[in-house]
Amino acid sequence: MTDIKLHNTRTRKKEVFTPLDEKNVRMYVCGPTVYDRAHLGNARPVVVFDVLYRLLRHVYGEDAVTYVRNFTDVDDKINARAAESGRKIGDITEETIRWFLDDMGALGALQPDQMPRATQFIPQMVAMIEDLIAKGHAYEAEGHVLFAVESYTEYGALSGRSIEDMIAGARVEVAPYKRNPMDFVLWKPSSGNQPGWDSPWGHGRPGWHIECSAMAYELLGASFDIHGGGNDLMFPHHENEIAQSCCAHPDGGFAQVWMHNEMLQVEGKKMSKSLGNFFTVRDLLEQGVPGEVIRFVFLSTHYRKPMDWTAEKAKEAEATLRKWYVQADRALDNVKPYQAVVSALADDLNTSKAVSEIHQLSHADDAPALRASLKLLGLMAEQTPSWAAAPEVDLSGWEDRLAKVRASAMANKEFSELDRLKAALIDAGIEVRMQKDRVELVPESSFDPAKLEALE
């Protein structure tokens, strides 16, 4: 069995991954708050942990892995969107969830095994909050319930900061009913048109952090293997998850491995509406950028490094994928992925190294292994997409012509005509493969027959 090594944020080192139960490998990843289209940065953790999900299934078996990713469908941003649009909250969240799944599907992401919605687990959240109060880790104040961070001595271990540092470096909600500025909300009152549920503390709704703790416990247990998300969630969200989960279930370890992906930039700058470089996944898809191209650009950078999206990278990715798809199009599916690709992924999800290995595999002209390796990365569906499909064209006459020109060049040591012909064929959208005993011409999806006719 392939050994997987993962960088554990909590220990700050790369470790051999040893699941609690090889027959029940469990992973939780924080999902979106559903009030608008997913922007490009939202898609990065989806792709990162989709690749990890595929790797775990490859190593341990498809039936041995459970992947949970939640939807936050109760949140003040959703309430604000409903108020400004006049639409019902349920209509907004249903539409946005559908958008999200469609857009992530276009990027080749598999749907997780479980996709719980926060509103489906309100009773479990209430029960966990009651338990935290009973154990002295939470308190009620003016209709709110807050977690007392000083009751958990390990608070800050994930991000490696003291409470004092976190207060200084974070925008903390100032409230007179807090015992400590860092205490965070588990439950808050609802009024007017705000969504709410009955509870021992009055009509209200949960805070953001408690939902993931409650859902992870219900679906994966008090201890599970991997918890993932973007590094913007490390503090306060993941720090708070650990605190409330470990205090509610002190016999469990919550997540054994914590993984965080770095953020995304666009053309070397932070993505923002003010800079005019903010766009959603749907924006790119509607501009004609294939989902596989977006995914490929993501995979070309290691998940723990900042990723820079550029138009040039997208152009290069599309050209590379066209070439690979043409090579692998008719290959059989009953072949294992190239071991070097698997090994790269097993080394802390080194997708950039895996891409380099696939480049080598492409040069080796091993179409079956190429196809299997691409599928492991989520880059090749059952059928080659139309944008990447090679046109049907008979190039045997050109192969004979090129072979004769090469033979003459080798005999006369004059290669100018051979170089000219090769360059012209490549410019026409034809891949030129010259091996010792044969010449092969492969039309790419960018093939331009007019340019070929000009060579006649």
pLDDT digits (tens, 9 = 90+) for 222-265: 999 999 999 999 999 999 999 999 999 999 999 999 999 999 99
Pull the structure tokens for residue 9.
């944020």
360 by DSSP, 3-state: which?
A: helix
Q: In the CATH scheme, what is the code of domain 288-388?
A: 1.20.120
CATH 1.20.120 in the chain is located at 288-388
Residue with more model confidence, 401 or 390: 401
Q: Does residue 118 have a pLDDT over 60? A: yes
439 by DSSP, 3-state: which?
A: strand
Average pLDDT, the chain: 92
What's the topology of domain 5-264? Answer: Rossmann fold (3.40.50)
As a whole number of angstroms, the distance between CA 175 and CA 163 comes to 17
181 by DSSP, 3-state: which?
A: coil
pLDDT of residue 446: 73
Query: Which band of pLDDT confidence, cut at 50, 70 and 90, is reported for residue 360?
Result: very high
Query: What tens digit of pLDDT does each residue of 154-181 get?
Result: 999 999 877 777 665 555 566 888 999 8
Q: Residue 236: which of 122, 155, 291, 326 has the closest Cα?
A: 155
CATH 3.40.50.620 in the chain is located at 5-264
Cβ atoms within 10 A of the Cβ of 124, count?
A: 18
Asked if 344 contacts 308 with a C-beta cutoff of 8 angstroms, the reply is no
Asked if 33 contacts 169 with a C-beta cutoff of 8 angstroms, the reply is no
Q: Residue 362: which of 378, 341, 343 has the closest Cα?
A: 341
pLDDT of residue 431: 85
As a whole number of angstroms, the distance between CA 160 and CA 181 comes to 19
Q: What is the pTM of this model?
A: 0.87
Query: Which band of pLDDT confidence, cut at 50, 70 and 90, is reported for residue 390?
Result: low
pLDDT of residue 132: 98
- What mean pLDDT comes out for the span 384-397? 76
Query: What tens digit of pLDDT does each residue of 31-71 get?
Result: 999 999 999 999 999 999 999 999 999 999 999 999 999 99
- What mean pLDDT comes out for the span 436-450? 81
As a whole number of angstroms, the distance between CA 309 and CA 350 comes to 18
Asked if 379 contacts 373 with a C-beta cutoff of 8 angstroms, the reply is no
pLDDT of residue 170: 55
Pairing of strands 138-141, 144-147: antiparallel
The per-residue DSSP string of 394-435 comes to: --HHHHHHHHHHHHHHHHHT--HHHHHHHHHHHHTTEEEEE-
